[in-house]
Structures are given as C-alpha cells and as structure tokens.
Amino acid sequence: MPDLATLAVFSAATLALMIVPGPAVVYIVTRSVAQGRSAGLVSVLGIHLGSMVHVAAAALGVGALLAASATAFTIVKYLGAAYLIWLGIRKLMSHRDGGEAVDPPVATRSRMFWEGFVVNVLNPKTAIFFLAFLPQFTDPAAGPIAPQIVLLGVIWIALGLVSDGAYALLSSAVAGRLRRSVRARRRLDLTSGLVYLGLGAAAAFTGESAAAKA
C-alpha cells in the first residue's frame, strides 16, 4: 500500500483539485439553492455513489478501455451531454411555467440522489481523470495496483463528501432568502437551466482530441 507521505501528497492534491467547481458541484449548488440543505446533501451522496463506480472501473481496468476506445468515449460523452441538456431544458420549462406565486415542483430525495449519480457516472472526463490521476500515487513494489487504487479512491470520495457537503451547506445558507422570492426562484431556474445547457454543450463539443488519440 502507499506510504503515509504519498497519501498526504495525494490528499493535498485532491483538495486542491476539488476547489475548482465542475458539473457535479454545479448540480449540488443548484439543488441546494432550489430546495435547501437536505436536497444538496442528498445530491452529494448521489454524486459520490457515482464516484464509486469510477473508482471500481479504474481498479478493474474498464477506465483503460474507455480511454483506449474512441467509440466508447464518444458514446459516454454524448450520453452525459444529453442528460445535462435535458436537465437544462427542464429547468427552463419550469421557469416559463411561472405566473402567480406558485412553488415549483419539488423533486423527491430519491430522484435527486439518482440524478446526482447519473450526472457523475455519465461524465467521461471523470473516468479519464481517475484513470490518469490515481495511478500516479501507486507503487508496484508496494503490492497489487488494484487495491491501491481502491484505497486512493476511498480517500478521494471521503474528501469529496466533505468538500461538496461544504458547497451544499454554504449555497443553501446563502440562498435561504432567495428561495422565498418568486422572482428570485424564477431567475435561479433560468440561470441554472442555462448553466446545465452550457455544461451539456461543453461536454458534447470538447474532448474530441482525447477521443481521436484513442
């Protein structure tokens, strides 16, 4: 297994990377703003169940297959892009449905959990990232690689739960007053819808170079 110094460096690098928001953080913040702290925290759990899938894939070598196959990369990339765009369209339709002061439809906790899971699992960049990042902190001389990747993945997920949980708590606290304003909620729906559409477009139209090299 990696020594304590390696684990410390890995943890520091992981925290540094987590400071920069990605699609998962955008999803968590959007849910926290729209439906409060518990919604954000449930979304965090869904996101990191998806992280477990990527860790398992990296440990079993499925991530290597994804990196090596242009077809697999493209299929997963467009599935993820389509899902993000669908979320964006749904948010925009919710914005258009407004009229009187009516609360927007509230997603159930199970739905938020599984949406978070899908957002993370269908992000091919996450799979490629785990494949590229985790092995850098492994050592063949320390034993089999797969258990080392699993250990690093568990540390990543633990730190992610703390980091993303902080995003959920902070954004829900700041948005408390905004949620009580119908106009503000509509603007939040519009903004989050456009953000999801932008993320979907970015997922669809970036990464071709990575696929081409595969």
How does the average pLDDT of the chain come out, rounded?
76
* Residues listed for the chain: 214
Distance of CA 180 to the CA centre of its chain: 27
Q: Is pLDDT at 94 greater than 80 in this prediction? A: no
Residue type, 172: S
Say which amino acid occupies 128: I
**Residue 86 structure tokens:** 């669908």
pLDDT at 75 over 60: yes
Q: What is the DSSP string of 56-124?
A: HHHHHTHHHHHHH-HHHHHHHHHHHHHHHHHHHHHHHHHHHT--SS-PPPPPPHHHHHHHHHHHHHT-H
Alpha-carbon gap, residue 163 to 176, rounded angstroms: 20
Residue 98 confidence (pLDDT) above 60: no
For residue 52, what pLDDT band results from cuts at 50, 70 and 90?
very high
CA atoms of 67 and 61, how far apart (whole Å): 10
Highest mean pLDDT among 37-51, 137-151, 169-183, 199-213: 37-51
Residue 209 pLDDT class (50, 70, 90 cuts):
very low
pLDDT, mean of residues 198-211? 58
- pLDDT, position 119: 81
- The number of angstroms, rounded, from the C-alpha of 96 to the middle of its chain's C-alpha atoms is 27
Q: Quick check: 130 pLDDT over 70?
A: yes
Q: Residue 147: which H helix or E strand, with range?
A: helix 145-174
pLDDT tens-digit readout, 5-51: 888 988 988 887 787 667 778 788 888 887 888 989 999 999 999 99
pLDDT at 205 over 50: yes
